[in-house]
Structure 1
Amino acid sequence: MPDAVAAEWLHPFLEYMEKERRYSRHTLRNYRQAFEDFWRWLADSGLAARGLGALATRDLRDFVIEAQRRFDRRTLHNHASGLRAFYKYWLRHGKVTRNPFVGVPLPRLEKRLPKFLTEEQMRLLLDGPARLLENEAIDPFTACRDRLVMELLYGAGLRVSELTALNHGDIDQTSGVARVLGKGRKERLCPLGKVALAVLRQFKAAHARDTSPTAPVVVTAKHGRMPVRQVQLLLKRYLALAGLPPDISPHKLRHSYATHLLNAGADLRLVQELLGHASLNTTQVYTHVSVARLKEIYQKAHPRA
């Protein structure tokens, strides 16, 4: 992509998404990749000379057809979402007169149920730091910190970015509730649960050097804010220790949180609020998991199943 194109079109859009909309670095990276791939297609097809503001919906249909040969459906949907947001931004700023991605048909997404751990698997996972400490494989600071990380991901249903951004001032110790800034700068209240709160108090009393309001809750061995990547690697260590699938990500603990709440009879609207989902449709996928679990229990237990 020419530097002039990036400077004129891409950089202002990404800067807006980062500073105004507070999108994550992961999303910004995906949007950049989507635009770079789109520009390569425009250049290869000879459409770049017409300019980004002169494209028609039929041109974008050709792009989608060609992109299906290179990307799976979910990646294609993500790219289209980023490019739709790109054109929406420039439409609002008057550089284009229409959003050519509106109305472009995309291939239907296959419905995939979210992966989650059972309650017994979660117990094995959460017991990992204590097991390593008992065997003197890790020190008390690491054991308590790692347990805290997993308890907050599972006990409060936090996204990993929300966890690493959490400060001591965001948590009301009396009520046991954390004030979290989620996607789109939307604020929500997350109950931590008695166990997570107890581990947090233990960590603060025995290991935390700085508990001022702006100090991070989850820290590295040098007491700096823990990066997302370190949380991901930390989890993989305990998954291996518990004999669990290595592809379980921190976000899957959030899936487990939601699924276990619904399995125990929590109201769907309440779970939506706890997760910080803008749409109930996003939360409803977990009801399918719960129904699947109920059917499994029925098949094993009912004599007429």
Structure 2
Amino acid sequence: MSKPPPSPTPEPEAAEMPAEVSAAWLDPFLVWLAKERRYSPHTVRNYRHAFVRFYAWLQGAGIEAKPFDELTRREMRDFVIESQRQLDRCTLHLHVSGLRSFFRFWISRRRMLRNPFTGIPLPKLEKRLPMFLTESQIKRLLLGPQRLMENEAITPHDGWRDRLIMELLYGGGLRISELCGLTFGAIDQSNGCARILGKGGKERMCPLGRVAMAVLQHWKTNHVAISSPTAIVVQNHDGSPVRPRQVQTMLKRYLALADLPLDLTPHKLRHSYATHLLNAGADLRLVQELLGHANLATTQIYTHVSVARLKEVHAQAHPRGGSTRMG
């Protein structure tokens, strides 16, 4: 009989970290991330998980009593190698990024002298082009709420709310967290722009588009419970804010109605927004500013999508574009 395959190394237990370690080392770092760096709750939660997991690994290796900045490069390489068996490459990069930030924070507070993760190699990330919808697919998707309202499958309140959500995600290129936090006071009705507070507390102006503004005006006039400047734009019947999870669930309904892949996320509407702008000739730096990207390299991935689309059109339309036969 052949031997059964070895069991994967179990994930470290989050509950194993002593409370005193959390209070002395982890909690001040997380407060700094949230209050001073103004990272999103999602990022803070990820960085917390990265440290908890790292500390559990130190315990498993029997070196948790070692001062953090006396950890060796070999030990950190062992941590990375073992983590590759449990985490995908993207998550591993995220965790190590969080740990590097943790060490830099305490070095700046003079409680450490060195960062043991400096120079530790990580597996290369696969270069994935962002998924996006074509313009015709976007049109089918955005027609969904109107179709359901006409069939009386949803109430006018829910139909206009759902349409507004998708128009803002696509028309303004908003992140889902930015959408759910958008207030009426942040929108300038006269110029159709919204003042968006993005990642790291950075503020930017986002044109929302003529259609989105028209839908917003109808929504505010006919279906909103609370419309004060501090009120959240996207709200439920009782005026409570719509949560990101609601947006994700709602989108799946309209993806199914439009016969589109159900694994497309609200963020893919932002990808579509950027790709369509670049396909239409928008300047890369302008798109960077509209998206609120800190680095141009983050925006440049959309140019690869545009080039891929140009090559596809060339292959289909040009007499010498698609065939490789000689003769």
The two structures have a TM-score, normalised by structure 1, of 0.98
1:204 aligns with 2:214: no
Greater fraction helix: 1
Counterpart position of 1:132: 148
d(CA) in 2 for partners of 1:71, 1:109: 13
d(CA) in 1 for partners of 2:237, 2:315: 48
d(CA) in 1 for partners of 2:144, 2:93: 37
1:263 aligns with 2:317: no
Structure 2 contact 188–194 (Cα < 8 Å) conserved: yes
SS of the equivalent of 2:204 reads strand
1:273 aligns with 2:289: yes
Q: Structure 2: which amino acid aligns with 1:205?
A: T
Runs of 4+ in 1 over 4 A off after TM superposition: none
Structure 1 contact 53–95 (Cα < 8 Å) conserved: no
Q: Structure 2: which amino acid aligns with 1:79?
A: H
The partner residue of 2:117 within 101, 110, 134 is 101
* Gap runs ≥5 in structure 2: 1-16, 322-327
SS of the equivalent of 1:48 reads coil
d(CA) in 2 for partners of 1:70, 1:202: 49
Structure 1 contact 116–253 (Cα < 8 Å) conserved: yes
d(CA) in 2 for partners of 1:96, 1:237: 51
Give 1:51 shift: 2.7
Give 1:53 shift: 3.0
Q: Structure 2: which amino acid aligns with 1:105?
A: P
Structure 1 contact 133–140 (Cα < 8 Å) conserved: yes
1:120 aligns with 2:131: no
Q: Structure 2: which amino acid aligns with 1:256?
A: S
Mapping 1:206-221, distance limit 5 Å: 206-221=222-237
Deviates further, 287-296 or 83-92: 83-92
Give 1:104 shift: 1.3
Structure 1 contact 171–178 (Cα < 8 Å) conserved: yes
Mapping 1:116-195, distance limit 5 Å: 116-195=132-211
Structure 2 contact 177–244 (Cα < 8 Å) conserved: yes
d(CA) in 2 for partners of 1:137, 1:14: 45
Structure 2 contact 162–250 (Cα < 8 Å) conserved: yes
Per-residue deviation, residues 31-88 of structure 1 (Å, max 9, x unmatched): 1111111111111112212132321333212211221111111111000111111111
Give 1:224 shift: 0.8
- Identity across the alignment (%): 63
Counterpart position of 2:71: 55
Q: Structure 1: which amino acid aligns with 2:258?
A: A
The two structures have a TM-score, normalised by structure 2, of 0.91
Bigger-Rg structure (1/2): 2
Q: Structure 2: which amino acid aligns with 1:243?
A: D
The partner residue of 1:241 within 252, 257, 274 is 257
1:285 aligns with 2:301: yes
d(CA) in 2 for partners of 1:14, 1:277: 23
Counterpart position of 2:13: none
The partner residue of 2:313 within 285, 292, 297 is 297
